[in-house]
Amino acid sequence: MKNKNNELKKNFEGVQVHPNAFVDSNAELHDGVFISQGAVIGPNVTIGKGTEIGPNAVITGKTQIGRNNKVFPNVFIGQDPQDLKYRGAPTEVIIGDDNTFRECVTINKATDEGEKTIIGNNNLLMAYSHIGHNCELGNGIVLSNSVQVAGHVKVEDKAIIGGCLGIHQFVHIGYLAMIGGMTRVDRDVPPFCIAEGHPGRLRGLNRIGIKRSGLMENNDVDLKILQSTWNLLFKSNNVMSEALEIAKKSKLDNASMKLCNFLKDSISKERRGPMPL
**pLDDT score for 102:** 98
Q: Which of 186, 41, 129 is nearest to 137 (CA)?
A: 129
**pLDDT score for 270:** 84
**pLDDT score for 13:** 65
The mean pLDDT value of the chain amounts to: 95
**pLDDT score for 272:** 86
pTM, rounded to two decimals: 0.95
Give the model's confidence band at 94: pLDDT under 50 very low, under 70 low, under 90 confident, else very high: very high
**pLDDT score for 11:** 45
**pLDDT score for 63:** 98
Q: Which of 207, 206, 152 is nearest to 179 (CA)?
A: 206
What's the helix, strand, coil split of the chain in %, to 5? 20, 25, 55
**pLDDT score for 60:** 98
Please give the full DSSP string across 193-261, using - where no structure is assigned.
EEEETTTTEEEEE-HHHHHHHTTTTTTS--HHHHHHHHHHHHHSSS-HHHHHHHHHTS---HHHHHHHH
Q: In what order do the strands lie in the sheet with 34-35?
A: 16-17, 34-35, 52-53, 70-71, 100-101, 124-125, 142-143, 160-161, 178-179, 193-196, 201-205
Q: If you average pLDDT over residues 97-118, what whole number do you get?
A: 98
Q: In this model, does residue 7 exceed pLDDT 90?
A: no
**pLDDT score for 231:** 98
Query: What pLDDT digit, counting tens, does each position of 25-70 carry?
Result: 999 999 999 999 999 999 999 999 999 999 999 999 999 999 999 9
Task: Tell the CATH superfamily of the 4-152 domain.
Answer: Hexapeptide repeat proteins (2.160.10.10)
**pLDDT score for 12:** 54
Q: In this model, does residue 115 exceed pLDDT 90?
A: yes
**pLDDT score for 1:** 31
**pLDDT score for 2:** 40
Name which residue leads in pLDDT, 181 or 272: 181
Q: If you average pLDDT over residues 92-117, what whole number do you get?
A: 98
Q: From CA 58, how far away is CA 78, in angstroms rounded?
A: 8
Q: Is the peptide bond before 199 cis (omega within 30 degrees of 0)?
A: yes
Give the model's confidence band at 3: pLDDT under 50 very low, under 70 low, under 90 confident, else very high: very low
